[in-house]
Homo-oligomer: A and B are copies of this chain.
């Protein structure tokens, strides 16, 4: 059995991870931390039967622990990761702290100093479908952000093939409300979200933007500029990204489907839809899948539509997928398909 610890078990991402690990046949939970609810049990905080005790982060004993997940806010995660790595325990970080390889870019966007920049060199970006081999050998995985996961999986086959025009890509994304986390905020209240739909941080203001551009650059598209408009959806789970791209002449939806099916052949969690169908949240809710689909606008204009469950493929599911790889397990173990 793999003994796994969870830092930050009481947010939506942490709670989702607890549920996944409970159902995983090869994992047992070594510890679960909560800064604000240490001493309580998870069943005190969520309507669930998990009487998992919550301990303060400073009371963690890493002896005998194989892997630790950080489900912490950015800025708080880096010290937990450093502590875990110092104890030679593998780390799967779900925060933003190790996603951006350039410390300056990180500090500019996240407004905090990076206190564990020496670990960036060993951090592998946990997008399994792109970096599977590196993840398998990694000691520290930086799980992609939820929006970037939905966008990058949709762009990767075109980017790596050199097909993306060097201009701008417009990404109009819509996320379920669990993406805002469990912290108290008027904008997260039921009455404010229900029957509303609102944009936020649109243009080039959202912190997931540099992450997308970093990966696009790594894939040979350093000159692509992303316009990114997130919106808040009155649903619990899911991200749908509608992506507007310009391609060189000669593309069609048929060719896109064929190209993506070839690229993602054998991928257990990528579902390339046939021509005539468009991805929607219902394709992926409560699964670890990403659904990708296409529409043609003009000769060189296309729309890509991709959907994921933000708590699974966009966070805890993807993290577990990485962990499975890091321990040589079947990549799909414990994950809802």
Query: What residues make up the interface of A, taking CB atoms closer than 8 Å to B?
Result: 12, 22-23, 46-49, 168, 170, 172, 174, 177-178, 182, 184-186, 188-200, 202-205, 225, 227, 229, 231, 233-238, 240, 242, 244, 271, 278-283, 285-286, 289, 291, 295-298, 301, 303, 305, 336-337
Which residue of the partner chain B has the closest CB to A238? Answer: B197
CB distance from A323 to the nearest CB of B (A): 20
| Contact (Cβ within 8 A) A233 B233 | yes
Which residue of the partner chain B has the closest CB to A303? Answer: B202
| Contact (Cβ within 8 A) B297 A204 | yes
- Residues from chain B with Cβ under 8 Å of A235 in the complex: 194-197, 234
Contact A174 to B189, CB < 8 A, known contacts A282-B47, A295-B203: no
Among candidates B202, B238, B283, residue contacting A278 with C-beta atoms closer than 8 Å: B202
Contact A240 to B197, CB < 8 A, known contacts A47-B280, A233-B233, A301-B227: yes
Which residue of the partner chain B has the closest CB to A237? Answer: B195
| Contact (Cβ within 8 A) A231 B236 | no
| Contact (Cβ within 8 A) A305 B242 | no
Which residue of the partner chain B has the closest CB to A198? Answer: B280
CB distance from A40 to the nearest CB of B (A): 13
| Contact (Cβ within 8 A) A203 B303 | yes
| Contact (Cβ within 8 A) A297 B190 | no
| Contact (Cβ within 8 A) A236 B188 | no
- Residues from chain B with Cβ under 8 Å of A22 in the complex: 337
Protomer copies: 4
- Residues from chain B with Cβ under 8 Å of A238 in the complex: 195, 197
| Contact (Cβ within 8 A) A281 B189 | no
- Residues from chain B with Cβ under 8 Å of A236 in the complex: 190-191, 194-195
Among candidates B48, B170, B189, B271, residue contacting A189 with C-beta atoms closer than 8 Å: B189
Which residue of the partner chain B has the closest CB to A337? Answer: B23
11 A-B pairs with CB atoms under 8 Å apart are A47-B280, A190-B190, A190-B234, A191-B236, A192-B282, A194-B235, A196-B280, A197-B280, A198-B240, A203-B301, A227-B297
CB distance from A87 to the nearest CB of B (A): 32
Among candidates B170, B229, B242, B297, residue contacting A231 with C-beta atoms closer than 8 Å: B242
Those 8 A-B pairs whose CB atoms lie nearest each other, nearest first? A198-B280, A190-B193, A47-B282, A184-B184, A172-B172, A203-B297, A196-B282, A47-B283
Q: CA–CA, A218 to B89, complex, Å?
A: 58
| Contact (Cβ within 8 A) A197 B281 | yes
| Contact (Cβ within 8 A) B49 A202 | no
Which residue of the partner chain B has the closest CB to A283? Answer: B47
CB distance from A179 to the nearest CB of B (A): 10
| Contact (Cβ within 8 A) A194 B197 | no
Which residue of the partner chain B has the closest CB to A178? Answer: B191
- Residues from chain B with Cβ under 8 Å of A178 in the complex: 191
| Contact (Cβ within 8 A) A199 B242 | yes
